[in-house]
Amino acid sequence: MPENQKTQIYLDFNATAPVRPVAREAAMRAMETVGNPSSVHGFGRAARKLVEDARERVAALVNAQPSQIVFTSGGTEANNQALLAVEHGTVLVSAVEHDSILAPVPEAPRVPVTPDGVLDLDALDAMLAKADTPALVAIMFANNETGVIQPVEEAVAVARRHDALVLCDAVQGAGKVPVDFAALDVDLMTLSGHKIGSPQGTGAVIVHDRVQLHPLIAGGGQERKRRGGTENTPGIAGFGAAAEEALEQLDTYAAVAGLRDAMEAEALARVPAARVFGADAPRVPNTSSLGLPGISSETQVMALDLAGIAVSAGAACSAGKVKQSHVIAAMGEGDGWAGTVIRVSLGHETTHGEVERFLDAWQDLYMCRRAA
C-alpha cells in the first residue's frame, strides 16, 4: 500500500487489488525497454518475449494453453468481446452477472438464481430447451458481490445437452481459488489483471480451440488476428508476474476465509439484525456481502470512508454513484435488503486489527442511526 494510504483501511480488493511488487517490477522493467512486439528487429523481439512469457503465466493460472489467451484492456473488454464477437444465437445470462456482461446484451433473458445466489440449473435447462441453437450462456465463476461460486461444471453439462456455448467470467475467481479452463471445458473464459494485483488496464479472453473469436477491435492483426492494437507490453508483463505469484499463493490465500468467517460471525454477534448474503453457498475466501437494515448502502460506504475504511456497495458503483444491488434483488431480496448491502472484500495482507476497526465503525454507524 502506498505510504499516504497506510492510515486508511482497504477492504475493497474485489474492486481492485494493490499492485504486487513483482508485477510492478515486471511492468517497470518492460517500460525501461523499447520495442513494439510486432517489430521484427531485436528490440521488437525482446518486447514480444515479454508478452509471450506473460501469456504462458496467465495461461498457467487457469490451466489453459498460451495460444488460447487473447490479451485485452481488462475484464470489461474481454466480456464484450466474448459476447459480441462469437457467432451464436440467443444469449442467456445468469441474473447475477457483472454489468460488463449484462450491458452488452440488455435483452438477454436472465437465468434465475436460488436465494443463496447459486444458478438454478433446472431453470437453465428449461430456458435452453426453448432457445434457438446454438445459444450462448454467460455464467460467472464467482460473484463479485457475494463471492458465491457458481456450478459452472454442471451448467456446462446442461448447456452441452442443448448444443449451447458457455462463457465463464472468471474475473473474481482466478487467483482466489483454483480455476481450470481445460477441466471446466467452457468455450470462453474472461480474466482481469488488476483483480489479482497487476497494473490496471489488462485482461484476457481465453478461447477454446473449437470457437472462433472475431476481433472486436480491428487493426494490425495482433493477438492472432483476434484483437488489433499494439499490446500493452508493460501491463501484460505485470499481469504475467501477478498471475504467476497468485498461482503460487493459492494455498495460503485459502486462509483468508478464516478471517472473513470470523468477521461475519462477529458482525452478526454485534448486530443480530444484520445479514450475510450467500453465506450458505460455496464462496471465494475473501468476499462478504453484509446487509445492515435501515441504512442505505450509499450511507454506509460514505460513513465508513469518513472513518478511513474503504468498502464498496457492490458492483454498481460508477462515477461515485451507488445503485441497488441487482445481485441481492435476484436472490429474492429486492424490496428490503438490496439497497442496504455493502461488499467487504479482504486481501492476503488484511489483518485482524483492520477487520476489528471496520467492525467498530460499522457497529457505531448502526447504533448512531438507531439512536437518531
Decide: 167 and 84 in contact? Cβ < 8 Å.
no
- Grid coordinates given for 342: 455493502
Name the residue number minimizing CB distance to ligand PLP: 75
Shorter beta-carbon distance to ligand PLP: residue 78 or 271: 78
Residue type, 113: V
Counts of helices then strands in the chain (DSSP H, E): 14, 14
Minimal distance in Å, beta carbon 369 to ligand PLP?
28
368 classed as catalytic? no
Shorter beta-carbon distance to ligand PLP: residue 79 or 325: 79
Q: CA 363: distance to chain centroid?
A: 28
Q: For binding to ligand PLP (CB under 6 A), which residues are involved?
A: 74-76, 79, 98, 100, 140, 144, 169, 171-172, 192, 194, 203
Helix axis angle for 21-31 and 233-248, nearest 10°, is 150
- The values of phi and psi at residue 170, to 5°, are -100, 20
**Which one from 60, 254, 302, 317 is the annotated catalytic residue?**
317
Minimal distance in Å, beta carbon 286 to ligand PLP?
13
Decide: 140 and 97 in contact? Cβ < 8 Å.
yes
Minimal distance in Å, beta carbon 73 to ligand PLP?
8
Decide: 50 and 272 in contact? Cβ < 8 Å.
no
Decide: 184 and 167 in contact? Cβ < 8 Å.
no
Rounded to whole angstroms, the Cα distance separating 372 from 369 reads 5
Minimal distance in Å, beta carbon 233 to ligand PLP?
18
Decide: 175 and 196 in contact? Cβ < 8 Å.
yes
Minimal distance in Å, beta carbon 371 to ligand PLP?
35
Shorter beta-carbon distance to ligand PLP: residue 90 or 100: 100
Residue type, 307: A
Burial label for 199, CB within 10 Å (0-12, 13-18, 19+), is buried
- Catalytic positions: 317
